[in-house]
């Protein structure tokens, strides 16, 4: 089955790429395995020269690459340009810091000399999603390649052009053949790749369902794995919140990337004393968001990635309304070409409804009134997910209680949850395990080797 890119703004097919055959995949694995034997021997300085060159190439092509991202998955052109720039910044970060992040650590023991070394594992398979098609691939690739591993990318089938671009980018930067390889591999072939002895580890960003399947395969073959899965992040508005600061960022937190982000805030838990004002102002702000052609500068929300995704979101909203939810703005797909769904605010959502217990992957916000911060924390944690969360307050005590009390891999205070190369990214519970980015992330796919010289 070919990999097909469809423009979600128009519904038209952009390009079609043939899937790789099993023989082609096998040849790619052989090349990657051979490349690793040499790549692991290169110095951090040698790797950094190539990674910096990749960043320079990317920085010189921001508008072109951004247009590719927008055409394949519908994010606004402004957001796409930001994503490309962030990728280049992250490449530079690891080019500059990988040596210190993976430096040999002396440890005092009874030995003459002892400590810990960090050595590459081999070929790492990355199974990546469509919603941040360049960023999520780069945040795997930059640290992995700088650690001395080689990368195998199995990207989402609807962003094949982005996958091809990234492979070509690394080649143009001078990385040897096989150090980073794009595989147009179908699902049944992926299982064989994970099982192959030439593959050392696997990382996946995607749905909980996909994570369970891939983690099971990785475990069966004793392969190290990292899973970054879904989330239903809580946005807690405390009694001391500054709503002038909070409201605009609440909108951003929900509609960023057209609402299709694992770390987008999805549940807005507002203490009763601030609920009426928040709901009124938030609903009005969401209704003012400009929806339209993602290439237009004024557009804030473009289309959802596919008709399937739009229809799923619509079904979740309709189910919530049928079970008593109140729609304050939005609530139905936009008519016409493309896969558009407007920013939507729901309240009084029944916990048993689909919107009450499923992840909403689109610009739909659920607002829930809670008595106080204690109840907000209980509700925030009453979910199978634990990716991120945020607290909006001016009282330092409320902020510290939330940072300690929210069961998630990341907690932000008075800021939208985001990823940055300096801090680890990942979740707990059904949001997965392991971390990307930072020192923690680059050490996920290395052999932490102890040595002891008597």
Match 């891999």 to its residue by tokens.
409
* Distance (Å, whole) CA 449 – CA 364: 47
Radius of gyration over alpha carbons of the chain, in Å? 23
Other CB atoms within 10 A of residue 110 CB: 7
Distances (CA, A) of 56 to 53, 85, 140, 150: 5, 10, 18, 21
* Distance (Å, whole) CA 105 – CA 114: 9
Tokens of 34: 């051979």
Catalytic residue among 262, 359, 398, 436, which?
A: 262
* Distance (Å, whole) CA 27 – CA 196: 12
- Please list the alpha-helical segments (H only) found in 173-330: 187-195, 208-220, 243-255, 272-287, 307-322
Give the DSSP per-residue string, 235-272.
Answer: EEE-TT--HHHHHHHHHHHHHGGGG--TTSEEEEEEEH
* Distance (Å, whole) CA 31 – CA 34: 5
* Distance (Å, whole) CA 253 – CA 388: 12
Tokens of 304: 């959802």
Tokens of 213: 């399947």
Sign, CA torsion 303/307/313/317: positive
Q: Are the C-beta atoms of 400 and 412 separated by less than 8 Å?
A: no
To which H or E segment does residue 385 belong?
strand 385-386
* Distance (Å, whole) CA 435 – CA 126: 14
* Distance (Å, whole) CA 138 – CA 124: 13
Q: Are the C-beta atoms of 177 and 35 separated by less than 8 Å?
A: yes
Catalytic residue among 72, 208, 228, 407, which?
A: 228
Q: Is 96 a catalytic residue?
A: no
* Distance (Å, whole) CA 191 – CA 188: 6
Tokens of 181: 């390889």
Closest CA to 152 of 116, 189, 118, 106: 189
Beta 344-347 vs 364-370: how paired, if at all?
Answer: parallel
Q: Is 357 a catalytic residue?
A: no
Q: Which residues pair with 180 in a beta bridge?
A: 151
Beta 12-17 vs 3-7: how paired, if at all?
Answer: antiparallel
Supply the residues annotated as catalytic: 228, 262
């Amino acid at each position: 089955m070919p990999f097909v890119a469809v423009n979600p703004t128009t519904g038209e097919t952009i390009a079609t790429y043939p899937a790789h055959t099993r023989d082609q995949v096998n040849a790619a694995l052989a090349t990657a395995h051979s490349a690793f034997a040499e790549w692991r021997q290169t110095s951090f300085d040698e790797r950094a020269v190539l990674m910096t060159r990749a960043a320079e190439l990317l920085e010189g092509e921001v508008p072109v690459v951004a247009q590719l991202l927008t055409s394949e998955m519908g994010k606004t052109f402004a957001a796409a340009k930001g994503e490309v720039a962030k990728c280049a910044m992250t490449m530079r970060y690891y080019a500059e810091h990988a040596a210190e992040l993976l430096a040999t650590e002396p440890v005092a023991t009874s030995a003459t000399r002892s400590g810990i070394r960090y050595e590459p594992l081999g070929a790492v398979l990355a199974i990546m999603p469509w919603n941040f098609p360049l960023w999520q691939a780069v945040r795997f690739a930059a640290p992995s390649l700088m650690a001395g591993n080689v990368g195998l990318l199995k990207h989402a089938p609807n962003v094949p052009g982005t996958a091809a671009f990234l492979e070509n980018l690394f080649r143009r930067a001078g990385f040897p053949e096989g150090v980073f390889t794009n595989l147009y591999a179908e699902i049944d072939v992926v299982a064989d790749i994970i099982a192959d002895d030439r593959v050392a580890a696997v990382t996946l960003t995607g749905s909980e369902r996909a994570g369970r399947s891939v983690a099971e395969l990785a475990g069966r073959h004793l392969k190290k794995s990292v899973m970054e899965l879904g989330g239903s992040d809580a946005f807690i508005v405390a009694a001391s919140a500054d709503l002038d600061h909070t409201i605009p960022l609440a909108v951003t937190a929900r509609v960023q990337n057209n609402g299709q982000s694992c770390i987008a805030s999805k549940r807005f838990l507002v203490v009763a004393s601030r609920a009426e004002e928040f709901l009124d102002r938030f609903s009005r702000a969401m209704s003012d968001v400009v929806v339209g052609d993602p290439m237009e500068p004024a557009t804030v929300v473009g289309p959802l990635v596919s008709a399937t995704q739009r229809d799923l979101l619509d079904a979740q909203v309709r189910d919530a309304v049928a079970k008593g939810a109140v729609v304050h703005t939005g609530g139905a797909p936009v008519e016409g070409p493309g896969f558009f769904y407007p920013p939507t605010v729901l309240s009084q959502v029944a916990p048993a409804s689909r919107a009450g217990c499923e992840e909403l992957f689109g610009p739909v916000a659920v607002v829930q009134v809670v008595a106080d911060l204690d109840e907000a924390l209980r509700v925030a944690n009453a979910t199978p997910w634990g990716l991120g969360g945020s607290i909006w307050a001016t009282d330092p005590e409320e902020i510290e209680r939330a940072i300690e009390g929210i069961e998630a891999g990341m907690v932000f205070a008075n800021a939208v949850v985001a990823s940055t190369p300096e801090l680890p990214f990942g979740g707990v519970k059904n949001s997965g395990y392991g971390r990307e980015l930072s020192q923690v992330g680059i050490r996920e796919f290395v052999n932490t080797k102890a040595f002891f010289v008597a």
